[in-house]
Structure 1
Amino acid sequence: MNRPLISLKAGAIIFTVLWTAWMMWWSGTYSSANLAILTVCGAIVGYVWYRAMRWQFERMGMLPRSDDASAK
């Protein structure tokens, strides 16, 4: 794994935590069921954000393409 992917993954984790915290605050309900649902949704949103940013960075040439890395 190269350095740009580490910072991209860290950014995705930070985005996930902030998104989940914002949704908890916005909903106003702090029950355990709401926390569980928003945690699962936050993980999904964070993963989708990571994949979208990785695709965009590969497209812009800021990251090596996935198929180039597997060809070695």
Structure 2
Amino acid sequence: MSRPLLPLKAGAIAFTLLWTAWMMWWSGPFSSVYLTILTLCGAAIGYLWYRAMRWQFERMGMLPRKDDSSRAS
């Protein structure tokens, strides 16, 4: 795990947990199927959030681009 991405990955995990908890609280009655679906959706949302933020931070120059690390080798 590269060090510049560590805060971004931690933020994605926190976002995933908060989003999933909010959706579970907001949904009302609990069932095991509904909790499983919300957990899977939360994981997908967290991954998409991570990819979008990584792309945006690379565009803004706050993270090194993938191409830059391959040229240095």
TM over 0.5: yes
Superposition pairs for residues 1-16 of structure 1, below 5 Å? 1-16=1-16
Gaps of 5+ in 2: none
Task: Give how far 1:3 is off.
Answer: 2.3
Within 2, Cα distance between the matches of 1:42 and 1:70?
32
Within 1, Cα distance between the matches of 2:22 and 2:14?
12
Within 1, Cα distance between the matches of 2:69 and 2:27?
42
Taking structure 1 as the reference length, the TM-score comes to 0.92
Task: Calculate percent identity across the aligned residue pairs.
Answer: 75
Aligned length: 72
What CA RMSD, in Å, does the superposition of the two structures yield over aligned residues?
1.1
Match of 1:48 in 2: 48
Counterpart of 2:64 in 1: which secondary structure?
A: coil
Gaps of 5+ in 1: none
Deviations for 1:4-61, whole angstroms, at most 9, x for unmatched residues?
2001000000000000000001111211111100000000000000000000000000
